[in-house]
Each structure stands twice: as C-alpha cells, then as structure tokens.
Amino acid sequence: GYYATTLSGSSGPRTAKDYQAVYDVIASRLEENDEYDDGSYGPVLVRLAWHASGTFDKQTGTGGSNGATMRFAPESDHGANAGLKAARDFLEPVKKQFPWITYSDLWILGGVCAIQEMLGPNIPFRPGREDKDVAACTPDGRLPDASQAHDHLRNIFYRMGFNDQEIVALAGAHALGRCHPDRSGYSGPWTFSPTVLTNDFYKLLLDEKWQYKKWDGPKQFEDKKTGTLMMLPADMALVQDKKFNEWVKKYAADNDLFFKDFSAVIVKLFELGVPFKEDVKPFVLKTSN
C-alpha cells in the first residue's frame, strides 16, 4: 500500500538510523557552507521549519508542517517567506540523496539539526509528515507581522494553540540569525553570536537601551551602545506587555530553563496538525560533535 511504498525501500521500514544518516549529511553541509551570512545556514533553516509550521490553524486543522506547501506559489511568494528559498535550496541535494524522506519531514529535520548544531538543546524528532499538493497552500497572513505588538502576537499564536509563556519561549529563537533588507526590509542581528543559541535575546532586550533607528527603512530599534544590534517592534512588545515581560525576565535569568522550555515548545510547533502513526515515537538525533 501507500505506507509501504513511501516508508520502506529495499532496506525495509525507516528507523532512527535512517534519519540519523540524513541528519549527519545536513550537519556536514552546515559545516561546509560556512561562507553564507554570519557563517551558517543554521538560522535560515530554523526559520524555514518555523514558517512551514506556523501556518497552523487549530480551528480548521489546516496549515502546519504536514504538507510542505511552501514549495508552491502562492505560499512561496508570501511576503513573510521572502528569502526562504535559500533554505529550501540548501536542503535540495539532501532530498536527492535520500529520496524516501518527505519534504515535510526534511524541512523539520533541517530545523532540528540546525538548532542542535548551533549548540541548542536536544530537540526530539518524530517522522511521519506527508507532502501535500498546491491545493493545500495556506492563505497569506497567518505568520506574525513584525511591525505589530502584543494583541497581534496573541491573535496569531493563540490561533496555533500557544499560551503567553510559549510565545515568549519561541521568540528566543531570535538569538539566531538576522534581518535582511532585501527580505523583510528590516536590518541587522539581535545578538552578538547569531549562530549560537543562547538566552542572549532576553538579556539584551532587558539590559540594553533601545532607541529608534534613524533610517529610511521600516520602524525598528537599535541598541544605544553599539548601534549594531536590532529589535523589531514585535520583539519590544515582549517587554512592554506585563505578562510577556515576566517570562522574558525568567528566561534572561536562567538559560537552563530557557533551553528546557524552548525544546518543549519547538517540538509542539513542529508537530502542530501532524497525524503521526501511534507506533512512531520521538527520538533524539546525535550531534556531530
């Protein structure tokens, strides 16, 4: 049947060992391609996995990582997804090498691998996503708008099924990567170590003085001291809103707590709406070091 032809090949049903082989190739490609951006494709892989998942709507059960519909226009052309072709193209040779894996599982495995290789916590992985066709593309507007504040963040993330603590824990991913003027219109990294996952996003948010950046681009903030770091209006909402701020303080004070909660919430994000088979249990893939 369908299950047999997609999940098994000459070597029988896929096991954790098969996914470890895919993980290892992604990890070595991350290491080899160190000329990209701040020295790693890691951050943009995390963003691909997040945007594949963050379209989920719990009311209708539509969207989410099960489908990989960002392969197709119109979803690939949504403004929020600008620049993610770099991540999809990075993973294409991996798909060629392991044709049995679905794009949907591969994109999430890419995010898992990137987080772990950038010294983040273990992110248990569970396969079983299936690719859908263009008809399953989600409407534009399901991902957060960086120019907006707490009400908007709650609307967007409550729709996926997250609470305030989980919203703040997820936002810690902004320790990674940067904004690109030719993608989102915003510019710059959030932290001084954009290829290593830490709780620095929260620390900097609380400890630095943030002022409006004077430029022709969209409204964003820069740190007063160096002018090299940035915050989005949506990031600033996390300190401005009282309930969000309580969690910002907790995560700024305790990296272990951040890692524990970040791992749990990113697994939840990556699994939204995925109808896993009952016998498929999550497993932790080994890092390259």
Q: Which residues would be at the binding site for ligand ZEM (CB under 6 A)?
A: 43-44, 46-47, 50, 83, 144, 146, 153, 170-171, 173-174, 176-180, 183-184, 186, 232, 234, 266
To ligand ZEM, the closest distance from the beta carbon of 268 in angstroms equals: 11
Going by their DSSP bridges, the two strands 8-9 and 12-13 should be labelled as antiparallel
> Has 190 been annotated as catalytic?
yes
> Has 50 been annotated as catalytic?
no
Q: How big is the chain by its Cα radius of gyration, in Å?
A: 19
Can you tell me whether residue 134 is helix, strand or coil? helix
To ligand ZEM, the closest distance from the beta carbon of 39 in angstroms equals: 11
Angstrom CA distances, 184 to 64, 168, 188, 217, stand at 22, 21, 11, 10
Of 50, 51, 107, 210, the active-site residue reads 51
Nearer to ligand ZEM, 166 or 223 (CB): 166
Q: In what order do the strands lie in the sheet with 221-223?
A: 210-212, 221-223, 230-231
Nearer to ligand ZEM, 144 or 273 (CB): 144
Report whether the peptide linkage leading into residue 74 is cis, meaning its omega lies within 30 degrees of zero.
yes
Alpha-carbon span 228 to 223, nearest angstrom: 7
To ligand ZEM, the closest distance from the beta carbon of 133 in angstroms equals: 26
Q: Residue of minimal CB distance from ligand ZEM?
A: 177
User: What's the full length of the chain, in residues?
Assistant: 289
Beta bridge partners of 283: 125
Nearer to ligand ZEM, 178 or 213 (CB): 178
Q: For residue 179, which phi and psi values (nearest 5 degrees)?
A: -95, 140
- Cite the DSSP H helix spans in 139-288: 150-160, 164-171, 200-207, 233-240, 242-253, 255-271
Extract the tokens encoding 120.
């983040």
To ligand ZEM, the closest distance from the beta carbon of 16 in angstroms equals: 24
Nearer to ligand ZEM, 95 or 180 (CB): 180
To ligand ZEM, the closest distance from the beta carbon of 116 in angstroms equals: 14
C-alpha 266, offset from chain centre: 8
Of 50, 107, 150, 190, the active-site residue reads 190
Nearer to ligand ZEM, 18 or 117 (CB): 117
**Residues assigned a catalytic role:** 51, 190
